[in-house]
């Protein structure tokens, strides 16, 4: 009887140990890019940039959160206020292919939209995995909501658009209220990393998100960055971001760009 109990304990212990080995939990990894400029005197400006990601894997599962925000003032007047928040869940079927679920929320006071929300499932494929080069491709089928921004006019005929912000306090005589559009959409994304040297890294991210039933309603995003290691944790980098809207409001540009110098922390 004692031998049977001892054998059972050994088998249970071995099974638990084997299961613990299979479900490998990796430490939380974070990547933070921070940039800030403030001037006083003849010019009074503030510029703030924060681009941060955090991810954690356990077994075949991985969770990731991303925040990308910019804020700027000129003599106390807001000139940029935008942020993007994305959540990803991945389940790896193989070392290269994974199921992906995405939730995103974007707000930008100076764009054609008060906010944009999107969520949906998809797939991720690691097309290139080497020490120097990495290329990851992903695609998602989305449910999307776009809340258009209101347009204020200085005349009742709706021909003179009042820009935002309105420091001169021009009277609003007419308004076109923004519509809320919900639709079936898509997103395709590619991320390329090139480890040029041990301390120098190039990154390129490209994505396009749009509406299935209206091919003219789409949005593009690009981020190009070059980072140089200072220490095991800190790096210095430069990044160039471009946000593209194919159907902007009548007083908005198609493309909004941001060039920043950043202090980067990987932990």
More confident residue, 95 or 41: 95
Are 33 and 49 spatial neighbours (Cβ–Cβ below 8 Å)? yes
Residue 200, pLDDT above cutoff 70: yes
Confidence (pLDDT) at 20: 43
Mean pLDDT of the chain: 88
Task: Look up the pTM and report it.
Answer: 0.85
What are the φ/ψ torsions at residue 29 (nearest 5 degrees)? -110, 130
Q: Give the separation between CA 40 and CA 38, rounded to whole angstroms.
A: 7
The fold for domain 26-266 equals Porin (2.40.160)
Alpha-carbon dihedral angle through residues 53, 122, 245, 178, given to the nearest 10 degrees: -100
Q: Give the separation between CA 233 and CA 214, rounded to whole angstroms.
A: 45
Window from 142-146, 175-179, 240-244, 250-254 with minimum mean pLDDT: 250-254
Token pair, residue 75, equals 């003599």
Q: By C-alpha distance, which of 201, 114, 194 is closest to 149?
A: 114
């Amino acid at each position: 009887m004692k031998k049977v109990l001892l054998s059972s304990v050994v088998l249970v212990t071995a099974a638990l140990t084997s299961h613990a080995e299979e479900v490998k939990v990796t430490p939380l990894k974070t990547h933070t890019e921070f940039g800030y400029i403030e001037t006083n005197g003849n010019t009074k400006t503030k510029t703030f940039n924060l681009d941060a990601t955090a991810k954690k894997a356990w077994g075949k599962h991985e969770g990731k959160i991303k925040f990308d925000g910019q804020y700027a003032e000129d003599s106390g007047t807001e000139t940029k206020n935008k942020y993007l928040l994305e959540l990803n869940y991945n389940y790896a079927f193989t070392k290269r292919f994974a199921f992906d679920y995405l939730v995103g929320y974007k707000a930008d006071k100076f764009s054609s939209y008060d906010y944009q929300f999107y969520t949906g499932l998809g797939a991720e494929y690691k097309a290139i995995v080497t020490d120097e080069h990495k290329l990851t491709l992903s695609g998602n089928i989305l449910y999307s909501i776009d809340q258009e921004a209101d347009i204020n006019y200085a005349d009742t005929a709706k021909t003179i658009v009042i820009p935002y912000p309105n420091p001169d306090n021009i009277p609003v005589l007419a308004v076109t209220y923004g519509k809320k559009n919900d639709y079936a959409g898509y997103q395709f994304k590619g991320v390329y990393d090139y480890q040029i040297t041990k301390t120098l890294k190039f990154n390129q991210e490209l994505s396009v998100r749009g509406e299935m039933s209206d091919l003219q309603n789409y949005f593009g995003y690009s981020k190009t960055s070059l980072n140089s290691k200072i220490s095991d944790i800190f790096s210095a980098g430069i990044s160039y971001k471009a946000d593209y809207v194919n159907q902007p409001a009548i007083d908005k540009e198609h493309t909004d760009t941001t060039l920043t110098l950043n202090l980067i922390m990987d932990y």
